[in-house]
Structure 1
Amino acid sequence: MAFRNLHPRLRIRPAEVRRLIHTLDGSALFAPPVGELSIVVLDEHRMAALHGRFLDDPTETDVITFEGDPHLGLAGEIFVCADVASSYVDGDRERFPAELCLYIVHGYLHLAGFDDTSPPLRRAMRAAEKRAMTALASAHAIPTASLTSI
């Protein structure tokens, strides 16, 4: 698993993100994505640029997932936006790490075969997210994360 933090104010330990993924992989809740997984945390400007370039929508979003090619040993890439997570929890420092973790989980689940393009699929995705977050909380595998002041 490769992890990059490209957000200038986010403090998060890569080892804790690796533990999150290893916990999900070993949970037996889902079929883990096959191959190398890449996770990147962006700020709102970089996320909006990525969203515009690949999805023709130049606004920030919470998570974008790109499928890889298991035949090439690539599970896929998950891009998450720390600024959207912070905004969603209204700057609540206590809730921020779990919200950011949820975005990683959401991308992971896409790579594990879940989709959210219709109401029934969205319900299944939300249920899977809840199971994953419960497993991560029980294993104390939600990474510590914070945004520093400017």
Structure 2
Amino acid sequence: MPKLSLEINNQYSALAAPEAATRTLFETLHASAAFPITEGELSIAFVSDDEIAQVHADFMDDPTPTDVITFPANEEMESAGEIIVSVDHASSRAAELNEPFSRELSLYLVHGWLHLAGYDDRNEVDRAAMRQAEQEVLNLLDAAKHSIVFQLKA
């Protein structure tokens, strides 16, 4: 199995210690080999809407906040890619959908991984394939019976 290391950067002070849940999620997904990505260091950043909006503006010429931004692998730099998720977005969207916050944040991490695995969501056909793959991964994580819990500080 290709090597994968995780670099987790929690820039969101109200997110309580996401490292263990993030490791469990990505190690479970990687070990399944169901949606392989390039080996190397996978960088994950948890940020606010303001921070992700800045990244969105700087790299995609769109100054609005979004849920997740994924930067592709760079084999020369031994990078498996970078996933940036908005904790604000996950929190507000979870409340809108009456879903657990942890599940919504996990979905964003899964979505980023799937982009690295070659999935896209720019058109309707690709979006449908992405949604199906997201559900497969969430089912895989549920079946693994690992504790993947993300929490906001009270």
The normalised TM-score by structure 1 is: 0.91
In 2 relative to 1, CA 140–13 (structure 1 residues): closer, same or farther, beyond 3 Å? farther
- Deviation string, structure 1 residues 93-140 (Cα, Å, up to 9, x no partner): 961001000000000000011111111111111110000011111213
Contact 1:97 1:142 in 2 (8 A): no
Q: Which residue of 1 aligns with 2:8?
A: 3
Q: Distance in 1 between matches of 2:75 and 2:118?
A: 13
State the one-letter code of the partner of 1:50. Answer: V
Deviations 1:42-80 (A, max 9, x none): 011111111111111111100000012123311110000
Alignment of 1:8-23 (within 5 A): 8-23=13-28
Distance 1:113 1:72 in 2: 19
The reply to whether residue 107 of structure 1 matches residue 115 of structure 2 is: no
Misfit runs of 4+, over 2 Å: 91-94, 140-143
The alignment yields a C-alpha RMSD, in angstroms, of 1.8
Q: What corresponds to 2:142 in structure 1? A: 137
Equivalents in 1 of 2:62, 2:87: separation in Å? 18
Q: Corresponding residue for 1:118?
A: 123
Which segments of 5 or more consecutive residues in structure 1 lack a partner in the other structure? none
Q: Report the secondary structure of 1:78's partner residue.
A: strand
Task: Give the length in aligned residue pairs.
Answer: 149
CA distance in 2, matches of 1:45, 1:142: 30
Which residue of 68, 80, 98 corresponds with 2:103? 98
Aligned-partner Cα distance in 2 for 1:27–1:82: 26
Secondary structure of 1:26 counterpart:
helix
Q: Among the aligned pairs, what percent are the same residue? A: 42
